[in-house]
Amino acid sequence: MTSPLPGLVERITGRRVLVVGDVILDEYLDGDAARISPEAPVPVLRFAGQQAVLGGAANTAANVSSLGGRATLVGLVGDDAAGAAVRRLCTDAGIQLEALSDGRETTRKVRVVSRQQQLLRIDYETTADMDAPCRARLMRALAPHVASADIVVVSDYAKGLLSSELLEEVRRAAAAAGHAVVVDPRPRHASFYTGCDYLTPNWKEALALIGEGDADPTPDAVRQVGGRVRDRFLAGVLLTLGARGMVFFAKDGSAPIEAAAEAREVFDVSGAGDTVVAAFALALAGGAAPADAVWLANRAAAVVVGKRGTATVTADELARAALLQ
């Protein structure tokens, strides 16, 4: 079968995506943990280096940019060293950043890694709702960005930015501009999402969104859960299933679109959901059919999970991966 990639690349290039959500700085401390501390039964890491990359909503925006789109990112960024790093990395990635601050520190996830094995993660975060003055500034900032975008992505990591009022404003402004809203959801905010155009939960999130406990993603269970999420939120649902691929449930109730996982080697799943939502939203922004948008998201996920840590994927990498199929 002929690959749809060339046509999709043409469609997505230059498309404008507004990403609203929780900005995170992902940091990696690398070294060799070859011995146990005499002070406590824990490994001793001989430090070898560190790296900082964009995470959370910022990783979604970075993937939009690396795939050839034009990304605008709106989120909370502190006036601290981590915030300065976020600003620099956004500039390097070609992301237009609308950074707001209410005095909190920049959200950071610091991972300690030895020989490709994560030993520890340290989170620096404040998850309280943003203060009223910052919320007012955010509301004022949204309208012009929504109007100039081709599609809106809401990347919810439940770190204090998103509220029901914000989602309502995003939906209202997007509807007025004729743009779709794609939400990467968190179950604790399930009450916010009804009326958004698309949701992109993983299996665990999908179960929690409909109040179900743990269950295996058998084919029958996937069809039932995906359909229930679609009906509960009146939205198209791209349900990601890890090694089982992903399934799209259209809002109109038509037959689900299934895509088998294509990864040849899974190195790290960190941030893979950000890549999925970026590729899916870009394709929709370019007018692609849902089946092609799912194909692009699935192919992008297959590439990015073969990389270390939170990462991005490019159109050239997708093309090279297609030659290996």
**CA 47 – CA 66 distance, rounded (Å):** 30
| DSSP annotation string for 231-255 | HHHTSEEEEE-GGG-EEEE-TT-PP
- What is the number of other CB atoms lying within 10 angstroms of the CB of residue 221? 14
**CA 195 – CA 177 distance, rounded (Å):** 16
Please say whether the dihedral angle defined by the alpha carbons of residues 26, 275, 185 and 171, taken in this order, is positive or negative. positive
Of the candidates 30, 150, 197, 274, the residue annotated as catalytic is: 274
- What is the number of other CB atoms lying within 10 angstroms of the CB of residue 217? 20
CB 63 within 8 A of CB 278: yes
CB 280 within 8 A of CB 19: no
Backbone dihedral angles phi then psi of residue 132, each to the nearest 5 degrees:
-60, -45
Catalytic residue status for 22: no
Closest CA to 160 of 203, 118, 194, 130: 130
Residues recognised as catalytic: 274
